[in-house]
């Protein structure tokens, strides 16, 4: 009996050790203001508020999620919802919900690489435009530098963020890492030039190709999970939505979440807490379904 107990303990220990040898999970996230987050932190769901360390919910930490948000030095910090706006940083977006539920599922440290800036479009509207964009147009990229280097390219900033994280942190993890999904919400700023939103495909392809080249793994089929723009949004564009639907139909690894009837805040632009929570939970469910 004693020998059987010892064998059982050894078998259990081996199984636990095998489970700990899995590569770390990584999520990459990008987009504009609804990705950066605009819902005030006092409207966080109660299950997230319990992790706050102050009564205004401006500080706190998730147990397992680590994030490198709009930075290129490859340093991760414990995740707590914050936007990159200096004036109003204590706001959250749908991804805060996704990370919470991934924590409940994975129950181990995982990493998020995020780049999001409000009011940004895929393509420049004209040659003299001085604003910043996600464009993957080769000629445009060749003539521009990353916004992190005071240039105009958000895509190059995102790539620099990814590379910094891989070089300085992820590549040094004992058991390696695996990028599980690419989360995205953006499109409002393209409403006046919706015919150019087909170029979202080029952005996704650029990221997938870069990841494959950078890591030596095949990320050409990396799941891309994104949501539509609410039809009540003052910057809703039917051509943008149509392009999203075509992309999801043509790419078997692109998963579109319908946010047509989403509730918005008073600005008629940003998801309210109900819609942000819904989109975040749907993104989690999609990741779980394809894993």
CB 40 within 8 A of CB 90: yes
**What was the pLDDT predicted at 124?**
87
The Cα-based distances of 54 to 11, 43, 84, 219, 254 in angstroms read 44, 14, 20, 40, 39
Share of the chain above pLDDT 70, in %: 91
The Cα-based distances of 264 to 188, 232, 250, 269, 270 in angstroms read 13, 8, 29, 6, 5
d(CA 186, CA 190): 9
Nearest to 169 by CA among 60, 84, 70, 68: 68
Q: Look up the pTM and report it.
A: 0.93
Predicted confidence (pLDDT) at residue 16 exceeds the cutoff of 90: no
Question: How does residue 4 score in pLDDT terms, banded at 50, 70 and 90?
Answer: very low
**What was the pLDDT predicted at 137?**
95
- Residues contacting 64, CB < 8 A, separation 6+: 103, 106, 107, 108, 109, 110
Which residues face 77 on adjacent strands? 67
Predicted confidence (pLDDT) at residue 169 exceeds the cutoff of 50: yes
CB 91 within 8 A of CB 270: no
Q: If 0-12 CB within 10 Å is exposed, 13-18 middle and 19+ buried, where does residue 58 land?
A: middle
d(CA 243, CA 263): 22
The larger pLDDT score, comparing residue 198 to residue 19, is at: 198
Question: How does residue 130 score in pLDDT terms, banded at 50, 70 and 90?
Answer: confident
Give the length of the chain.
291
Average pLDDT of the segment spanning 165-187: 98
pLDDT digit string, tens, across residues 70-98: 999 999 999 999 999 999 999 999 999 99
**What was the pLDDT predicted at 291?**
80
**What was the pLDDT predicted at 13?**
45
Average pLDDT of the segment spanning 28-43: 98
Question: How does residue 128 score in pLDDT terms, banded at 50, 70 and 90?
Answer: low
pLDDT digit string, tens, across residues 149-158: 999 999 999 9
**What was the pLDDT predicted at 126?**
55
Strand order across the 65-69 sheet = 77-78, 65-69, 110-116, 24-31, 177-185, 224-227, 254-257
**What was the pLDDT predicted at 127?**
52
The larger pLDDT score, comparing residue 127 to residue 48, is at: 48
**What was the pLDDT predicted at 1?**
52
Predicted confidence (pLDDT) at residue 245 exceeds the cutoff of 80: yes
Average pLDDT of the segment spanning 258-286: 98
Predicted confidence (pLDDT) at residue 284 exceeds the cutoff of 80: yes
């Amino acid at each position: 009996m004693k020998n059987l107990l010892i064998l059982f303990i050894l078998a259990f220990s081996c199984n636990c050790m095998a489970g700990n040898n899995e590569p770390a999970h990584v999520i990459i996230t990008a987009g504009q203001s609804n990705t950066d987050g605009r819902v005030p932190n006092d409207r966080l769901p109660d299950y997230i508020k319990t992790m706050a360390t102050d009564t205004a919910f401006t500080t706190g930490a998730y147990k397992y999620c680590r994030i490198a948000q709009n930075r290129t030095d490859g340093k991760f910090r414990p995740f707590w919802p914050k936007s990159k706006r200096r004036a109003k940083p204590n706001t959250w977006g749908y991804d805060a919900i996704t990370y919470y539920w991934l924590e409940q599922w994975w129950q181990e440290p995982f990493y998020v690489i995020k780049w999001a800036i409000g009011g940004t479009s895929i393509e420049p509207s004209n040659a003299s435009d001085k604003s910043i964009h996600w464009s993957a147009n080769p000629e445009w990229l060749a003539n521009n530098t990353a916004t992190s280097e005071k240039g105009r390219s958000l895509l190059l900033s995102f790539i620099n963020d990814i590379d910094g994280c891989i070089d300085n942190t992820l590549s040094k993890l004992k058991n390696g890492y695996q990028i599980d999904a690419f989360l995205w919400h953006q499109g409002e700023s393209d409403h006046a030039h919706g015919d150019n939103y087909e170029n979202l495909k080029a952005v996704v392809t650029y990221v997938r190709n870069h990841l494959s080249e950078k890591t030596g793994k095949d990320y050409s089929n990396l799941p891309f999970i994104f949501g539509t723009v609410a039809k009540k949004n003052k910057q809703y564009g039917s051509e943008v939505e149509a392009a999203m639907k075509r992309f999801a139909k043509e790419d078997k690894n692109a998963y579109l979440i319908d946010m047509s009837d989403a509730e918005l805040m008073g600005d008629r632009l940003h998801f309210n807490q109900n819609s942000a929570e819904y989109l975040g939970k749907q993104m989690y469910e999609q990741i779980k379904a394809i894993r």
